[in-house]
Amino acid sequence: MKRLLRTIFLVDLFQGLWVTFRNQNPKYIYTEQYPAERPKVAERYRGAPRLNINPDNGETLCIACNLCALACPEALIVVTSERNEATKRKELTTFTYDTSRCMFCGLCEDACPVDALELTQDFEMATFTREGQIWDRQTLEEGPKPTQYKC
Amino acid sequence: MADEQKPGGSDTPPPSGKEAPAPPAKPAAAAHAAPPKPPATMAATPWDSDLSRQIKERFGEAIGETSTYLGQNFVVVKPDSAMSLLEYLKLEADFDYLVDVTAVDWPKRPERFDLVYILYSFSRNERVRVKTHIADGYKPGTAVGVHLAANWLEREVYDMFGIEFAGHPDMRRILLPEEWEGFPLRKDYSILKQDDRWVQENLGIPSGQ
Amino acid sequence: MPEPTFLDSTELVLNMGPQHPSTHGVLRVILKLDGEKVTGTECVIGYLHRGVEKIGENRTYAQFNPYVDRMDYVAAVSNGLGYCLAVEKLLNVEAPPRAQAVRVILTELNRVASHQLWLGTHALDIGAITPVFYCLRDREEALKIFEKYCGARLTTHAFRIGGLLYETYDGFEQDIRAFCDWMDPKLAEYEELLTNNRIWVGRLKGVGILNADECKEYGVTGPVLRAAGVKWDLRKAQPYSGYEKYEFDIPTRENGDTYDRYLVRMEEMRQSVRIMRQAVAAIPDGPIMGKVGKVIKPPVGEAYVSIEAPKGELGYYIVSDGATQPYRLRVRPPSFVNLQALDRMVAGGLIADVVAIIGTLDIVLGEVDR
């Protein structure tokens, strides 16, 4: 008898509907109003690459050891350097990073012995052209500059 | 797909040594300076248990070796007896679950392919590998009669290696398009290679690279 | 055979094409129909084939690690665990206990996330639109933990060969405990929405029956096998990464139909939360990386290692010839082998049942095609 009443009066369906109505409470709204509120990504987030600069003297931290290029599974980093006769050390000249093929795995960041190459929290890296995805040393040091929209 | 292509699209050939990068760059001279040694082989030890003795008793000559490596047992059998060994293992030794069928290409050997069947027994909680060495062009018997799971697994081995299975109900390519030519997982098929004719006919672009 | 209708129709061949919202990826199913009844199916796969096994032969062991996440992209951490365990087996090293405990926590978290996605999309295919919102919203919490730990939500690349790269972040244990406490009422909420709902039961009960013998014949593993009554789980049968230390049950059911698979996966989520609670209460201290050299060069040999991924038995068969790159890297994908059973499960069903069965098999085309 109880089963018959539950079936006729759609008790199971109303139970489900009650869950849905309970979730209408504004405290359960999870929608992020992007781009007005940008998500806060974690500290270890593997986003856009950046070549760090020594804050004291403005020189690059990269020692052109090529370890990042060797570690990359896609072989998309190209590092060129020239030997400085005065200090007898290698100096970085160009550093090319192809973000269109990058899978943001972080192996280059792990391989860098001096923490010069770092994957930052930037994730807004869209460009209008394919060539814009290939970053040279300057773009890597400054970082991507996404258009800021006023909302 | 072009993992040799330099970013920026330059046409200079990639620097040599990009093929096998070893992170980090240790002096590679050590490997070249060593005198030529005989090629290393797997340090397998003989596998001696009830099951291996039963198999040897039943199949005698057809069994090449029964060994174990890192705690995993395998049996090497002649290609003609592979099917009967699988049947024996299923019916008598309770290996009722075919985990995987795959192949390995050793192009320098006359018996080029290593056909590997991995079996598991629920009741014994044990895995065993059955390996056969087959030459290019040999058509091994299909395992579909013994284990239904072999249907797609053998189709994939055909697709990737070109090993046809005699008696398979549906021997055609599974992952690649039907008209594709070439067998990608063979060692003579370069990683940069694609069937350009198929790509041009079906996709309209000169090359997939 | 049904009575011939006055329309005298012949068999219709319909293409449930690669672009379809319910096929969980690019899967093409060619249906042979008699009215709405399906008389035969044929799966055409390969639309997502990327040649992962060939790539494996051209990358070093450490470089291949990120590629592995992209196969079963829903549960990327499990793929990484299987691969790292396989290479560690070849190298004959074991990850230290702390690394093993954290690996277990992340893998179980990933199992919950994978089952949540499964539940959401499966319910969406059946027609219940609400669960997908709740499941994906709740899954965000798990993805946030992955992001805080390793830096990525989907393709996590969480583990390294020999152990872990990253130490757990500050607040890891609190986050996991909070997730476990928060998850239990959520699971009850999903059950309230679905389990007794007459539409849900009507669509799923008796559909896609695959009994235990058929499962074993087809090589089907995972929740599909457990719903058919076989109490088998690789975490209990051949424990890896310290699973023997934790107490958990293996949920099974008898009928082997779609409704049972749903119940088994719901219960598996609960058991995963239970394992996470036990693991996080007792993470040992110590190093997080085992004794693995900078250059990974396993000795000549081969090994097959498999784990209980959320979809089934995920296995890696690696053949090494002593070089820094694997000689042959074979991935045994659970979804590929499970999908073979589609034809048997659909036998005699309707088109709507095909959708339910593809959903219940929990396939990910990235894994089917590699």
Domains of chain C listed by start with CATH number: 62-332 (1.10.645.10)
Range 1-60 of B in CB contact (< 8 A) with C: 3, 19-24, 26, 40-44
> Which three-class secondary structure state does DSSP give residue A27?
helix
pLDDT at B174 over 70: yes
Q: Which residue has the higher pLDDT, A141 or B24?
A: A141
Mean pLDDT calculated for residue range A60-89: 86
Helix, strand, coil distribution of chain A in percent, nearest 5: 25, 20, 55
Range 200-219 of C in CB contact (< 8 A) with B: 216-219
- C360 interfacial to chain B (CB closer than 8 Å): no
Lowest mean pLDDT among A31-40, A69-78, B74-83, B165-174: A31-40
Q: Which pLDDT value is given to residue B34?
A: 56
- C165 interfacial to chain A (CB closer than 8 Å): yes
Chain C residues inside the 8 Å CB shell of A105: 65-66, 155, 157
Phi-psi group of C93: left, alpha or beta (phi > 0 → left; psi -120 to 50 → alpha; rest → beta): beta
Q: Which residue of B has its CA nearest to A130?
A: B8
Range 178-237 of C in CB contact (< 8 A) with A: 189, 192-194, 196-199
CA distance B142 to chain A (A): 37
Question: Cα separation of C226 and C235, whole Å?
Answer: 13
- For residue C130, what is the enclosing H or E element? helix C130-150
The candidate with the shortest Cα–Cα distance to C24, out of C349, C344, C338, is: C338
Binding-site residues on chain A for chain B (CB distance < 8 A)? 66-67, 69-71, 74-78, 96-98, 101, 107, 111, 134
CA distance A99 to chain B (A): 9
pLDDT at C7 over 70: no
Q: Which residue of A has its CA nearest to C191?
A: A16
- Given pLDDT bands bounded at 50, 70 and 90, which one contains residue C3? low
pLDDT at B3 over 60: no
Q: Which pLDDT value is given to residue A20?
A: 86
Question: Cα separation of C71 and C25, whole Å?
Answer: 12
- Contact call for C304 and B3, based on CB within 8 A: no
Q: Which of A77, A96, A111 sits opposite B23 (nearest CB)?
A: A111
- Residues C241/C247/C251/C252 CA torsion (nearest 10 deg): 90
Q: Which of A71, A97, A101 sits opposite B23 (nearest CB)?
A: A71
- C136 interfacial to chain A (CB closer than 8 Å): no
How many contacts does A have with B, using Cβ atoms within 8 A?
36
- Contact call for B7 and A70, based on CB within 8 A: no
- C50 interfacial to chain B (CB closer than 8 Å): no
Q: Which pLDDT value is given to residue A83?
A: 82
Average pLDDT of chain C is 88
Which residue reads 């509907």 in tokens? A17
Q: Which pLDDT value is given to residue C293?
A: 83
pLDDT at C10 over 80: no
Strands (E), chain C: 12-16, 28-34, 37-44, 159-160, 163-164, 301-309, 312-320, 328-332
Q: What does the DSSP 8-state code read for residue C254?
A: S
Q: Which pLDDT value is given to residue B18?
A: 39
Chain C residues inside the 8 Å CB shell of B121: none
pLDDT at A114 over 50: yes
pLDDT at C22 over 80: no
The candidate with the shortest Cα–Cα distance to C87, out of C52, C63, C110, is: C63
pLDDT at B31 over 60: no
- Given pLDDT bands bounded at 50, 70 and 90, which one contains residue C177? very high
Chain A residues inside the 8 Å CB shell of B24: 67, 70-71, 111
Q: Taking the CA of residue C224 as centre, how many other CA atoms within 13 Å lie in the half-sphere pointing to its CB?
A: 34
Is residue C15 a contact partner of residue C30, using CB atoms and an 8 Å limit?
Answer: yes
- Contact call for B24 and C300, based on CB within 8 A: no
Query: Can you read off the two tokens belonging to residue C74?
Result: 């829903």
Question: Cα separation of A62 and A58, whole Å?
Answer: 12
The candidate with the shortest Cα–Cα distance to B66, out of B80, B79, B50, is: B50
Q: Which residue of C has its CA nearest to A72?
A: C63
- C32 interfacial to chain B (CB closer than 8 Å): no
- Contact call for B7 and A96, based on CB within 8 A: yes
CA distance A126 to chain C (A): 18
Average pLDDT of chain B is 78
% of chain A with per-residue pLDDT over 90: 1
Q: Which pLDDT value is given to residue C304?
A: 92
The predicted complex's ipTM stands at 0.87
Q: Which pLDDT value is given to residue B52?
A: 82
Question: Cα separation of A105 and B14, whole Å?
Answer: 23
Q: Which pLDDT value is given to residue C4?
A: 54
Question: Cα separation of C291 and C289, whole Å?
Answer: 7
- Given pLDDT bands bounded at 50, 70 and 90, which one contains residue B208? low
- Given pLDDT bands bounded at 50, 70 and 90, which one contains residue B37? low
Partners of A60 in beta bridges: A53
Among B5, B11, B19, which would you mutate to test the A interface (most chain A Cβ atoms within 10 Å of its Cβ)?
B5
> Which three-class secondary structure state does DSSP give residue C271?
helix
Query: Can you read off the two tokens belonging to residue B23?
Result: 């992170």
- Contact call for C58 and B23, based on CB within 8 A: no
Is residue C257 a contact partner of residue C207, using CB atoms and an 8 Å limit?
Answer: yes
* Chains near C (3 or more Cβ pairs under 8 Å): A, B
Partners of A78 in beta bridges: A96
Q: Amino acid identity, residue C264?
A: V
pLDDT at B17 over 50: no
Q: Which of B19, B44, B148 sits opposite C217 (nearest CB)?
A: B148
Question: Cα separation of C86 and C328, whole Å?
Answer: 13
Q: pTM score, two decimals?
A: 0.88
Q: Which pLDDT value is given to residue B19?
A: 39
Query: Can you read off the two tokens belonging to residue C96?
Result: 């230290």
The strand pair at B45-46 and A134-135 is best described as unpaired
Q: Amino acid identity, residue A14?
A: F
Q: What is the 3-state secondary structure (H, E, C) of C71-96?
A: CCCCCHHHHHHHHHHHHHHHHCCCCC
pLDDT digits (tens, 9 = 90+) for C42-61: 889 988 898 899 998 889 99
**Cβ neighbours for A101, distance < 8 A, ≥ 6 positions apart:** A74, A76, B7
Q: Which residue of A has its CA nearest to C151?
A: A45
The candidate with the shortest Cα–Cα distance to C199, out of C279, C128, C150, is: C128
Mean pLDDT calculated for residue range C231-252: 89
Chain C residues inside the 8 Å CB shell of B149: 217-220, 337, 340
Edge-to-edge strand ranges of the sheet holding C12-16: C12-16, C28-34, C37-44
Lowest mean pLDDT among B59-68, C103-112, C182-191, C296-305: B59-68
Q: What does the DSSP 8-state code read for residue A60?
A: B
Question: Cα separation of B148 and B137, whole Å?
Answer: 24
pLDDT digits (tens, 9 = 90+) for A91-103: 888 888 888 888 8
Q: Which residue of A has its CA nearest to C157?
A: A105
Range 91-150 of B in CB contact (< 8 A) with C: 96-100, 102, 104-105, 116, 118, 122, 125, 127, 129, 147-149
- Contact call for C194 and A30, based on CB within 8 A: no
pLDDT at C36 over 50: yes
* Max CA pair span of chain B: 64
pLDDT digits (tens, 9 = 90+) for C248-298: 889 998 888 899 999 999 999 999 999 999 998 988 888 888 888 888 888
Question: Cα separation of A109 and A116, whole Å?
Answer: 8
Q: Which pLDDT value is given to residue C270?
A: 92
Q: Which pLDDT value is given to residue C105?
A: 92
Strands (E), C139-260: 159-160, 163-164
pLDDT digits (tens, 9 = 90+) for A67-79: 988 999 988 888 8
pLDDT at B30 over 60: no
> Which three-class secondary structure state does DSSP give residue C114?
helix
pLDDT at B185 over 70: yes
CA distance A14 to chain C (A): 9
Domains, chain B: 41-202 (3.30.460.80)
- Contact call for A12 and C157, based on CB within 8 A: no
Q: What is the 3-state secondary structure (H, E, C) of chain B?
A: CCCCCCCCCCCCCCCCCCCCCCCCCCCCHHHHHCCCCCCCCCCCEECCCHHHHHHHHHHHHHEEEEEEECCEEEEEECHHHHHHHHHHHHHCCCCCEEEEEEEEECCCCCCCEEEEEEEEECCCCEEEEEEEEECCCCCCECCCCCCCCHHHHHHHHHHHHCCCCECCCCCCCCCCCCCCCCCCCCCCCCCCCCCHHHHHHHHCCCCCC
* Chains near A (3 or more Cβ pairs under 8 Å): B, C
